[in-house]
Structure 1
Amino acid sequence: MSNKEGSSSHAVSQQEIHVEEREPILPRTVKILLDFVDRRQDKDKFSSIFEVPRRLREVNPSSFTPRVVSIGPLHKGRENLKLMEDKKASFLHEFLTGVPGSREETLKKCDEQVRGSVDKIRRCYFGMKPYSEDELVQMMVMDACFILQFIDNLSKSGDQHSENRLRSRSVALDLVLLENQIPFFVLRDIYELTFKTLESKPSLNTMLLNLLERVNPFFEKLKVEDLSGEEDPYHILGFLHDFYQIKNSKPPGIEELPRAHSAVELHEVGVRFRPNENETPNENRTWIMAMAFEQSSHKPTLRMPKVLIDNFFEVALRNLIAYEQYSTPVRNYVTSYAMAMDMLAATPADIARLGKSGVIVNHLGSNEKASNMISSICKDVTFLDFYYIESWNEAKKYYDSYWSKNIGVLKRKYFSTPWKAIALLAGIILFLIAVVQFVFRVIKFTSLR
């Protein structure tokens, strides 16, 4: 190489270094935002476990905060959860006693399996505190073993009434909080290394089904065959969400919010409300949250899922909606249901009407509490899709028809209260008496002539 070539090469090298040194250093906040964008654009990088954004959390913070047990890193160390944190050791001992092999051997296999997935586990969380590899592995193994042993104990206890039943349901509810999750593949890996080796244990999906039935607000039972089965969910909350999906569905195209008619308004024009579960199964039953407007019978009917309205209903729906709102690959089935209920149950009178129709069972103590709670669930929620648009359009068409409007006016004017109905009936009777008297007088006058 000549001296000229050498000096030229050296100049280029110096120029490259100079360019690298001049590249701006991005602020930490910008790096975080760019990383968040990258994760949302790539499903494989999507962080499925995250803190619920403030605009949803502030409406009701308690709906997203575990009451009994902490799972995963986002609520680790909370003072009010330390009691159950200490009890996890007892669950771990019971778990290790029930699987073949020595405790040391079992834990070693679990440790090695989870340790090999540490980087993948970290990518599942957004906003997680910095934990060392040992701390994260210990947390994942402990929490996975706790979950498996807890749901195994649920299957043994059945539905017996005991002082611990409410506490068990509270733990079950904690296990479906968005911020209180571990990756599903961690749970499945631990299950396959332990419980799957025992012939006496059911499949993981069956075990989880027993857990989720305790937080499912709908009276219709969850069924394993309702799952898509395409791939593992992100976590237990995602597994619950799978039961509320429509198979092979496409997001409905809507350009504006559908016209909202309340239960009372629809009832005034002759629409009945009937729970799905009491009728013969049909194509609409393929979706647990199906609502269908039918006019084939002698009276128009809106068929709906029968649901229990209580505090567990609120927590489950809020977490499912937060999951849908901020998870790019997840569709807004539960958000659609909440929006539909918000339209139908706008007032305490609407709750009373749906209650009389057997569509809802209200355990909140008053119709006002129920209507306020349903309205608050949809506060600050983005309206993206509406999977009831076809039924809502049919109901609107019927509501706007000539005969239904006149029926509504008649009901509001003359039958809105018992006294109005009695007054109308009395008026009709007096009118008929007057007509009869007039006819007799005409007959008498004609006979005299």
Structure 2
Amino acid sequence: MSNKEEGSSSLAVVSHDITIIAEESEPILSESVEKLLQIANSRNVEERFSPIYTVPSRLRDVSLSSFTPRVVSIGPIHRGRANLKLMQDKKATYLDELLTEVCSPERGSRADILTRCEKKVSDSIKEIKRYYFGKYFMKDGYSDDKLVQIMVMDACFILQFINKLFKAGDELYENRLRSRSVGVDLVLLENQIPFFVLKDIYEVTFETLKPPPHSLTEMLHELLERVNPFAEKLNIDTVGNLSDERTPPLYHILGILHEFYKPERTERPIITAIPAAYSAVELHKVGVRFRPNKDKKFLMAVKFQHSLHKPTLKMPRVLIDNFFEVIMRNLIAYEQYSTPVKNYATSYAMAMDMIVATPGDVAKLVKSNVLVNNLGSNEKASYMINNICKDVTFPDFYYIESWERTKKYYNSWYKIPWVFTRKYCSTPWKAIALLAAVIVFSIAIIQFIFRLTRFKSFH
């Protein structure tokens, strides 16, 4: 490390060295992700998969703001952006607070703990580089020493940010919205550091406290619950103990959020064609109700339940706002270009795109308590939902069974009574008019039969 070579172990020197902002405004990949993917095609899947990368223009150009941090940069890709300087400067404060909290005569001074953090990261520098797709970028952008500084500073910032969330509750800095904005930045695909780095820094810092105030699993659950757009809480049992070596490999914080959304059954339901789609309004006309789904094992579950009197499509209750779009787009981008990663979020976005065709569909789902629309208008919500799947491919669909059941009901005779009821009895006046028509028709039939009987009696 540069500070060691200069013979200085001063925390002030190290902290200042870490917070230097790179002069370049945005590191540039020497080759596009698409081209690099083609080059890597002949390699082993695990060897070529690098889970942190610049989102390809195919998805990025549709919504640039969804992949660009608003408040804080994490890792090397967005480091140096002028609009992120305020929080970049505050990282040294977070580092100082964290080291002050964990240091003691038994555990060592702040400088000792920082040195151990640097050593942990330095020993893993080759593996860290492998996590970033496009090694040309890493070679041209930062030296190993600089990369170590970035990893240590950003990992300490994340841990202390979450630690402050626990202490402050809903308030952090100016307001709750700002804390959520930081939280959303921490799940952007391009704004990640390897999870094992975060884990190593946690072991050197908070885990040395006996007992630690919170486990690493609890800390990340607290963070991700803040950005979870679904009404149902994230099930902490889904990811297990993140500090356990037996836990399946998780690549970064976005990957952990993705893990929270996985279904109980994860086999890939391959599709050869996009299934038939019916909008919320169309389904409502044939008697389908919409209800919130409270499935704690699969937060994105969409299930069709059919009984003769109550056909119901159960969907997760979700908050539709700008944060929802950011989170969904990053989960989808992670799935689209990450070979080992399954398409849970892509399937959910596809299902929503099919159910919501017009603002009227949004209104119906809002009325059914399935959507909470915070965008100001149903038109904006409809546009957002329909636009999220633009230029996205669908190799599989996790709701194919429910979609087939919905299609079967839509084309069956079961819907006839519902269609009749919706058309002629949807309002009290229509029902009264129908009843009057039936009475008049019945009287006419009775009169006809009476006259016919009298006519026959005369002859």
With the shorter chain as reference, the TM-score category is 0.7 to 0.9
The residue type equivalent to 1:342 in the other structure is: D
- The question of 1:206 aligning with 2:223 is answered no
Q: Deviations over 1:247-296 (max 9, x none)?
A: 4521013221110011111111111111122xxxxxx6421111211124
Cα distance between partner residues in 1 of 2:43 and 2:216: 29
Given that 1:289 and 1:337 are in contact with CA atoms closer than 8 Å, whether structure 2 keeps it comes out as yes
Q: Return 429-438 or 362-371, whichever deviates more.
A: 429-438
Where do 1:296-311 residues align within 5 Å?
296=307, 298-311=309-322
How far the C-alpha of 1:42 sits from its partner, in A, is 3.0
Deviation at 1:124, TM superposition (A): 0.6
Equivalent AA in structure 1 for residue 177 of structure 2: L
Q: What is the DSSP-based 3-state SS (H/G/I as helix, E as strand, rest coil) of the residue aligned with 2:226? A: coil
Q: Which among 114, 118, 126 is matched to residue 125 of structure 2?
A: 118
Deviation at 1:126, TM superposition (A): 1.7
The AA in structure 1 aligned to 2:256 is: F
Post-superposition offset of 1:85: 0.6
In 2: Cα distance, 1:428 partner to 1:70 partner: 67
Q: Secondary structure at the match of 2:290?
A: strand
Shift of residue 401 of structure 1?
Answer: 0.5
Higher alpha-carbon deviation: 34-43 or 189-198? 34-43
Matches for 1:183-222 after TM superposition, within 5 Å: 183-198=194-209, 199-222=211-234
Equivalences for 1:121-270 in 2 at 5 Å? 121-127=128-134, 128-129=137-138, 130-160=141-171, 163-198=174-209, 199-227=211-239, 230-270=247-287
Counterpart in the other structure of 1:377 = 388
Q: Which residue does 1:393 correspond to in 2?
A: 404
Alpha-carbon shift at residue 436 of structure 1 (Å): 4.1
Q: Which amino acid aligns with 2:362?
A: I
Matched, 1:75 2:82: no
How big is the shift at 1:77?
A: 0.3
Q: Secondary structure at the match of 2:436?
A: helix
CA drift of 1:46 comes to: 1.7
Q: What SS class does the counterpart of residue 319 from structure 2 fall into? A: strand
Moved more, 92-101 or 224-233: 224-233
**SS of equivalent residue, structure 1 residue 361:** strand
Decide which moves more: 425-434 or 237-246. Answer: 425-434
- Residues 138 and 36 of structure 1: CA distance in aligned 2, closer, same or farther (over 3 Å): farther
- Say whether 1:326 aligns with 2:329: no
The CA deviation at 1:363 is 0.8
The answer as to 2:432 corresponding to 1:425 is yes
Query: Structure 2 residue aligned with 1:105, among 104, 109, 112?
Result: 112
Tell me which amino acid in the other structure corresponds to 1:112: K
Partner of 1:41: 44
What does the per-residue CA deviation read over 1:78-108, in whole Å, with 9 as the maximum and x for residues that have no partner?
A: 0100111111111111011001221110111
Give secondary structure in 2 for the equivalent of 1:50: coil
Cα distance in 2 for partners of 1:29, 1:161 equals: 40
1:55 aligns with 2:58: yes
C-alpha change, 1:40 and 1:368, in structure 2 (3 Å) is farther
- Alpha-carbon offset, residue 350 of structure 1: 0.8
Distance 1:251 1:356, change over 3 A: same
Aligned pair count?
A: 411
* Residues 235 and 296 in structure 2, CA contact (< 8 A), matched pair in contact too: no
User: Which segment drifts farther, 237-246 or 43-52?
Assistant: 43-52
Instruction: Pick which of 426-435 and 205-214 moved more.
Output: 426-435
Pair 1:253–1:340, CA change in 2 (3 A): same
Checking the alignment, whether the CA contact within 8 Å between 1:40 and 1:328 is kept in structure 2 is no
Shift of 1:182: 0.4
CA–CA distance in structure 1, aligned partners of residues 219 and 130 of structure 2: 27
Conserved? CA contact 1:308–1:362, under 8 Å? yes
Residues 82 and 162 of structure 1, relative CA distance in 2, 3 Å threshold: closer
Q: 1:415 to 1:346 in 2, by over 3 A?
A: farther
1:368 aligns with 2:375: no
Per-residue deviation, 1:200:
4.0
Change (3 A) 1:436 1:102: same
Moved more, 330-339 or 430-439: 430-439
Q: 1:140 to 1:35 in 2, by over 3 A?
A: farther
Paired-residue identity, %: 58
Q: Aligned partners of 2:56, 2:114: CA distance in 1, in Å?
A: 36
TM-aligned CA deviation for residue 138 of structure 1: 0.5
Partners of 1:245 and 1:287 within 8 A in 2: yes
Do the aligned partners of 2:164 and 2:172 also contact (CA within 8 Å) in 1?
no
Deviation at 1:331, TM superposition (A): 0.3
**Which residue in the other structure is 1:24 paired with?**
none
Q: Name 1:15's counterpart in structure 2.
A: none
**Cα distance in 1 between the residues matched to 2:354 and 2:400:** 13
Find the residue that maps to 2:255 and give its secondary structure. Answer: helix
Instruction: Give the match for residue 86 of structure 1.
Output: 89
2:6 maps to what in 1? none
The letter of the residue matching 1:110 is C
State the alpha-carbon separation in 1 of the partners of residues 263 and 240 from structure 2.
9
Secondary structure (helix, strand or coil) at the match of 1:321 reads helix
Contact 1:310 1:362 survives alignment (8 Å): yes
Identify if the C-alpha distance between structure 1 residues 36 and 237 changes in structure 2 by more than 3 Å, giving closer, same or farther: farther
Deviations 1:48-70 (A, max 9, x none): 10000101011110000000000
The alignment's TM-score, normalised by the length of structure 1, stands at 0.85
Task: List gaps (5 residues or longer) in structure 2.
Answer: 1-29, 242-246
Structure 2 Cα separation of the partners of residues 155 and 190 of structure 1: 19
TM-score by length of 2: 0.83
CA distance in 1, matches of 2:443, 2:255: 72
Give the drift of 1:303: 1.2
Measured on the aligned residues, the alpha-carbon RMSD in Å equals 2.8
Residue 20 of structure 1 aligns with which residue? none
Q: Residues of 1 paired with 2:37 and 2:450: CA distance?
A: 95
Does the Cα contact within 8 Å between 2:270 and 2:395 map onto a contact in 1? no
| CA deviations over 1:355-383 (Å, ceiling 9, x no partner) | 11111111111111111100000000001
Bigger Cα Rg: 1
- Partners of 2:348 and 2:233 lie apart in 1 by 17
Residue 403 of structure 2 aligns to which amino acid in structure 1? W
Q: Against the structure 1 CA distance between its residues 415 and 370, is the aligned structure 2 distance closer, same or farther, given a 3 Å change threshold?
A: farther
